[in-house]
Amino acid sequence: MDRPAARTLHGSIASRAFTARWILGELELDYEFVALDIRKGEQKRAEVLALNPMGKVPILQDGDVVVTETVAICLYLADRYGYGRLAPPIDDPARGRYLRWSVFATSALEPAMLSPKGDAARSFLVGWGELDAALDATEQALTPGPYVLGESFSAADVALGSVLSFGLFNKQIPPRARLVEYNGLIARRPAYQSAANATWPPELFPR
């Protein structure tokens, strides 16, 4: 008898596994969680490197499919299991906006927020801008809002919202009113809250 394809998320507490847990929760998908202690370097074990040569988490295994990179995990799962929810159809013009701001999350906003001020200005080759420019762009992504796709919550909000939440929480992003308001909106979602509780267990990370 065929077994249903196993779905496994390799991750760690207090990590970007949050993003993968959040989108899995939004789609109500079951998965086994393999906890790696990244402080002990378990993500560099041979069997993990065989899945992700970067030795980083999260890593999603969906049957034989391996997906790394948080945004790719969001886009993959929404396309594969959303069945019309959380991602615009392939021929919908909204797809451009959806992909644009999803990719922006970890290719521009995240490096801008983690780079020392002035780094991006020093080189044309750096693929992201200064944090203020990235935050201006993020506000544009959320206009008219309330979500990236207007009234429809989508996987782009999981991709962009996760980076924004990390940045606001860690004070790497200043508390601009529009961004704080959006963060409050996404943080009220049950799947966000379950993912946050699983990633930062309250007994280890008291609120």
Ligand X SMILES: N[C@@H](CCC(=O)N[C@@H](CS)C(=O)NCC(=O)O)C(=O)O
199 closest CA partner among 25, 54, 81: 25
Contact segment (CB under 6 A) with ligand X among 2-10, 25-33, 53-61, 79-87 equals 53-61
CA distances from 8 to 37, 65, 185 (A): 16, 10, 29
Asked if 57 interacts with ligand X (CB under 6 A), we say yes
Q: How far apart are CA 133 and CA 70, in angstroms?
A: 23
CB 160 within 8 A of CB 98: no
Q: Tell me, what DSSP letter sits at residue 93?
A: T
Token pair of 105 as six digits: 């999350």
Distance from the first to the final alpha carbon of the chain: 46
Contact segment (CB under 6 A) with ligand X among 54-62, 75-83, 119-127, 171-179 equals 54-62
Q: How far is the CB of 99 from ligand X (least distance, A)?
A: 16
**Does the N-terminal peptide bond of residue 93 adopt cis geometry, omega within 30 degrees of 0?**
no
Q: Would you give the binding string for ligand X spanning residues 13-42, x where CB under 6 A is met? A: --xx---------------------x----
Token pair of 85 as six digits: 């929810």
Q: Would you give the binding string for ligand X spanning residues 103-142, x where CB under 6 A is met? A: ---x------------------------------------
Q: Which of residues 59-78 bind ligand X (CB under 6 A)?
A: 69-70
Contact segment (CB under 6 A) with ligand X among 52-60, 152-160, 176-184, 198-206 equals 52-60
How big is the site for ligand X, counted in residues (CB under 6 A)? Answer: 11
Q: How far is the CB of 170 from ligand X (least distance, A)?
A: 12
Taking CB under 6 A as the criterion, the residue among 23, 26, 27, 43 binding ligand X is 43
**Location of structure tokens 């200064």:** 130
- Residues in contact with ligand X by CB under 6 A are 15-16, 38, 43, 55-58, 69-70, 106
